[in-house]
Structure 1
Amino acid sequence: MSVVEAKGVWKMYGKLVANQDISFEINEGEFVTFLGPNGGGKTTLMRQIYGELTPTKGEIKVMGKRPSKMLKFMGVVPQEGKPLDSLTAWEHVTLLGMIKGLSRAEASSRGKELLDKMGINPKTRVDDLSGGSKRKVLIISAIISEPKLVILDEPTVGLDPEARREVWKLLLDMKKDGKTIILTTHYMEEAEELSDRIYFVNKRIMMEGSVRELKGKFSEYYEVLNLDTGEKYIVKGEEIRDFLQRSNFRFEVRLPSLEEIYMRLFQ
């Protein structure tokens, strides 16, 4: 079942093109990540998916309807989103749960469960939390009502590696429960770890596929890792045998990483 469908989407601000003829379909239960450079139109596209913006041309449908009519089925963490500093963490997530239709008791119970899971003291005021913990509160507030579609625009910015992995586990648990998740991120490891499919976007869709499919498209190159120094070499397929025969170090040969593919697409 299609949860999000975009057909020929353009978003323009005067002569400035933010999104150019973008089409895609995201199915129920998929985890899809959009990767691209700053200014490449990812956030503009997300804002159209959750209905804050309207396409200049083309259309986006969420579960077959206009995004603005399906907000109660979505959980959103905007890129520039900030929690309400005047509340405690528990008050914040409970309030957002009630706004999304949960009873006070449901929102309170579910909020405390998620805060405990993410290592946040429910009684701590939001303005006393670290930047990373504030991002966690935003994520919890977005998912507390167990929405069918979750849209996360760079949600782990500011989180340390341990906290980032806590968020990953939470998102993967949601995916196992059948939620559909859309992510933007600049962390290649994050995209590789979580995604069923990846779209590389720079105003338009440059390339898409699973991690395996994307690496396969670049399989004419290999990444050779020097195990002694950590140095990496990118070697053409027809040259790999000669390169390895000349190498006087311990090595490991891999298909190109997502980061290497990204660099080749956008630089």
Structure 2
Amino acid sequence: MNTDTFVLVEVNNVWKLYGKFVANENISMNIEEGEIVALLGPNGAGKTTLVKQLYGELNPNKGEIRVLGSKPTDRGIKKHMGVVPQECEPYGDLTVWDNIYYMARIKGVDKERAKERTKELLEQLELSDKGKTLGRDLSGGLKRRLLISMALVNDPKLIILDEPTTGLDPQARREVWDILLKLKKEGKSILLTTHYLEEAERLANRIYFIYRKIIVEGTPNEVKDKFANWYEVIDYSTGNVYRVKGEDEVKRIIQQLNGKFEVRAPSLEDVYLEVIKSVQGVH
């Protein structure tokens, strides 16, 4: 952790239980100012449970969560958060303008500032031409932009996005990526959960693999360097794929090949699948 950077979120030894079922086990993590942190894990791994504790919908059974030095349930802290929960929809019977404006009012923004913020966000997220469109008539990608606008309306320091691009086509997904990278440049801190490893690798400063507890943490490159101790050699003339360890073994294999071939280092997705598979085998 960079000691010169302010830590917005501290999670210390957090447990969340439902009866005898352990959803989160002794989780510790942090989110620094101006970075994107990604939580990665399969369905049922406890990502959404952890996220709900970070924005105060749930309380941990053990451990402590601090957001800007206080509990996330404190009303004053909620003013500094913007949240897009999983499977959230804008209000279908309200226009895009009204969705943003009334969310600002709900969050305590005064009328004039709410109007200003609505106009600013329509322009920032390229929704100006959709201001009079009803929420239900938007495409999936435009709905996500609107939801992000609603989360940003109080100018939060921390933005929490639970699977923000699930169900979007590749173009809409990349449009959301561009928005998130722009917000990071503006100094916002972002926590996102995702199933898309490419998304985490492209966006996140740091990642956490979670399967009830934290399995792996680090930058995408640190995680790949730690676990990617093999290469794939693809022989295009035969279609054979060889998984080999060490550069000497790679050289030995390619010297035996005729025609086109490719040597590929493992991607973050390859590493993730290996790690999660090994953990699931234990449970």
- Report if TM-score (shorter chain) is over 0.5: yes
User: 1:104 maps to what in 2?
Assistant: 111
Q: Which residue of 2 aligns with 1:177?
A: 186
Whether 1:250 and 2:260 are equivalent positions in the alignment is yes
2:116, 2:169 → 1: CA distance?
A: 27
After superposing on structure 2, the runs of 4+ consecutive aligned residues of structure 1 that deviate more than 6 Å are: 227-232
Please tell me the residue identity of whatever aligns with 1:154.
Answer: E
- Counterpart of 2:106 in structure 1: which amino acid? I
For the structure 1 residues 23 and 229, does the alpha-carbon distance in structure 2 shift closer, same or farther, using more than 3 Å as the test? farther
Residues 225 and 31 of structure 1: is their aligned pair in 2 closer, same or farther, counting only changes over 3 Å?
farther
Matches within 5 A, 1:94-243: 94-120=101-127, 121-224=130-233, 234-237=243-246, 239-243=249-253
User: Shift in Å at residue 137 of structure 1?
Assistant: 1.4
Corresponding residue of 2:280? none
Query: Which moves more between the two structures, 162-171 or 29-38?
Result: 162-171
Q: CA deviation at 1:116?
A: 4.3
Residue aligning to 2:30 = 25
Q: Give aligned-pair identity as a percent.
A: 53
Q: Is the deviation greater in 95-104 or in 69-78?
A: 95-104
Query: In the alignment, which of 73, 80, 84 is matched to residue 87 of structure 2?
Result: 80
Q: Contact 1:215–1:256 (CA<8 Å) still a contact in 2? A: yes
Pairs within 5 Å for 1:31-42: 31-42=36-47
1:45 to 36, 46, 50: 50
1:15 aligns with 2:24: no
TM-score, length of structure 1 as denominator length:
0.92
1:251 CA drift (Å): 3.4
Task: Give the secondary-structure state (helix, strand or coil) at the position aligned to 1:59.
Answer: strand
Other-structure match for 2:3:
none
Structure with the greater alpha carbon radius of gyration: 2
Q: Which runs of 5+ in 1 are unaligned?
A: none
Matched residue type, 1:64: G
**CA pair 6-228 structure 1, distance change in 2 beyond 3 A:** farther
Alpha-carbon distance between aligned partners in 2 of 1:80 and 1:44, rounded to the nearest angstrom:
14
CA RMSD for the aligned pairs?
A: 2.1
Conserved in 2, the CA contact under 8 Å of 1:132 and 1:158? Answer: no
Aligned residue-pair number: 267
